[in-house]
Amino acid sequence: MVNTQTGLEGPRDDLTVIDNRTGKMYIVPIKDNTVAAVDFKKIKAPSKPGERAENETERGLRVADKGFLNTAVINSEITYIDGDNGILRYRGYPIEQLALHSSFLEVAYLLIYGSLPSKQNFDIFEKEVMTHSIVHVDAEGLFKSFRGSFYEEANPSLRGQNLFTKTDPASLANMDKQIYRIIGKATTFAAMAYRVRQGRPFVTPPTGLSYTASFLYQMDHLGQEDYVPSKTLAKALDILFILHADHELNASSTTVLQTGSSLVDPYSCMAAGVASLYGPLHGGANEAVIRMLISIGHPENVPAFLESVKKRERVLSGFGHRVYKTSDPRSFIIRKIADEVFKDEALLNSGNRTGEDELLKTAMVLHDMAMKDEYFTSRKLAPNVDFWSGLIYRAMGFPMDFFPVLFVVPRVVGWLAHWRQMMLQPGGVKIWRPRQVYVGETKRDYVPMEQRVDVETAEAKAQPFPVAHIG
């Protein structure tokens, strides 16, 4: 059969798209009744006269789907829902059968590991879960230290779900109050975390200093009279905070908005953002650079390291970016800051090895050699903001495990900006509920435990492991 419009033989598992702007025809594959959104980036057209450059028309179509109403973000084997026909299945088992015959822990096993457990595996799983229900006594003290509730005026559960979406003066003022609190306390909490780590008493935020100078004061003040942080370091940290304040819809900002779409309070949104940024693929990038440089050891080892990178034996951290296909514009700014910080007299006099630091020399050699190597330049692998920021933080004396905190403090501003924009958007807030492509089991019937055949599998992820208990 030939399609009279396209001239292609069918039926076929693809979509034929004709761009009426250019007359070009595109073939978009269909798999599991799903098309890939990235395939639409291939559909490009010249910008129209007067069109906004930000439309990026020449770079391909974007797919808009407010609230993820019809966007699948993952292939999943876990849960299948057919809303039109009232069907809900866990791993292929109808919810009606599980509710009638199963237990919560057995269903938990099913959802996590993919099959109903044998009695042996269920006994392991149940014992481990119940054994781990006891909390450390210190956790009791932590819970007792919390007040009965937090700011009542910030809690939608107490003040109504439209607390932050009404857009009247009172609502806007209340929203601003929470924003002030979060930004103001971000440096205080970060400094407190640092002081606890160092075994030092907390320092009350001073008056008369800039945001970053106050932050440095709270971390470094040891009782000296008239102590003032280095102006060079305060300015460097200020610029670093500017560079890290926002970066569009990155992982943590998306997490904040995903959480905020349920109309929860902004503090919970910030906590969700912190959890996302804490992941090594997001907030751990500059720490990875330092660990890479430590593993290289000395400047003379850089050539061998780069060769191992080309062979895919080692990973080059701090170069390239998922978004920037040429160079990271922040890297040029941060390189200038790095030069100033490494020469700062306050650091040199404090004993921090900056200008003579072996790690810094290794970084400089790595940077220069990579930027002259056709292998890396042809792949547009230029230093990004993380390459230099980790070195700067290290030179300033921050421990590596504190780097994500230094990322969070400025990024709360970006998170709050996105959250506020969502709360005030025309048409209200629609909860984010993305789709999935279900590729798991089709309908199957519940089998009582004593009648199950234990499925032998080579996949360790398909069964629970008993844990050694040492007290």
- Condensed to tens digits (0 to 9), the pLDDT of residues 252-301 reads 999 999 999 999 999 999 999 999 999 888 888 888 899 999 999 999 99
DSSP class of residue 80 equals E
Residues in the chain: 471
Evaluate if pTM is beyond 0.85: no
Distance CA 300, CA 374 (A): 20
Extended beta strands in 77-165, E state:
79-82, 87-90, 93-94
- Condensed to tens digits (0 to 9), the pLDDT of residues 177-215 reads 899 989 999 999 999 999 988 899 999 998 888 999 999
Lowest-pLDDT range, 65-79, 210-224, 292-306, 408-422? 65-79
- pLDDT for residue 346: 62
The answer, yes or no, to whether residue 392 has pLDDT greater than 50, is: yes
The answer, yes or no, to whether residue 139 has pLDDT greater than 80, is: no
Tokens (6 digits) for 130: 């119940």
Q: Choose among 395, 24, 429: nearest CA to 230.
A: 395
Instruction: With beta carbons less than 8 A apart as the criterion, state whether 358 and 346 touch.
Output: no
Rounded to 10°, the helix 403-423/169-198 angle is 170
Tokens (6 digits) for 158: 């107490």
Catalytic-residue membership of 321: yes
With left for phi above 0 and alpha for psi between -120 and 50, is residue 351 left, alpha or beta? left
As a whole number, mean pLDDT of residues 366-390 equals 89
Q: Which of 14, 247, 282, 373 is catalytic?
A: 282
- Residue 1 to residues 8, 9, 345, Cα–Cα distance (Å): 8, 6, 79
Q: Beta strands 435-438 and 72-76: pairing type?
A: parallel
Catalytic-residue membership of 238: no
The answer, yes or no, to whether residue 306 has pLDDT greater than 90, is: yes
Average pLDDT, the chain: 85
Highest mean pLDDT among 116-130, 143-157, 322-336: 116-130
As a whole number, mean pLDDT of residues 305-330 equals 85
- Condensed to tens digits (0 to 9), the pLDDT of residues 23-32 reads 999 998 998 8
The answer, yes or no, to whether residue 343 has pLDDT greater than 90, is: no
- pLDDT for residue 427: 86
SS3 category, 448: coil
Cβ atoms within 10 Å, residue 7: 9
Q: Which of 39, 220, 344, 386 is catalytic?
A: 386
The answer, yes or no, to whether residue 421 has pLDDT greater than 50, is: yes
Q: Which of 244, 321, 367, 418 is catalytic?
A: 321
Instruction: With beta carbons less than 8 A apart as the criterion, state whether 417 and 54 touch.
Output: no
Q: Choose among 438, 449, 412: nearest CA to 283.
A: 412
Q: Choose among 290, 276, 259: nearest CA to 418.
A: 259
Tokens (6 digits) for 250: 């990155």
SS3 category, 215: helix
Lowest-pLDDT range, 45-59, 141-155, 169-183? 141-155
CA-CA-CA-CA torsion sign (391, 392, 395, 398): negative
Catalytic-residue membership of 176: no
SS3 category, 15: strand
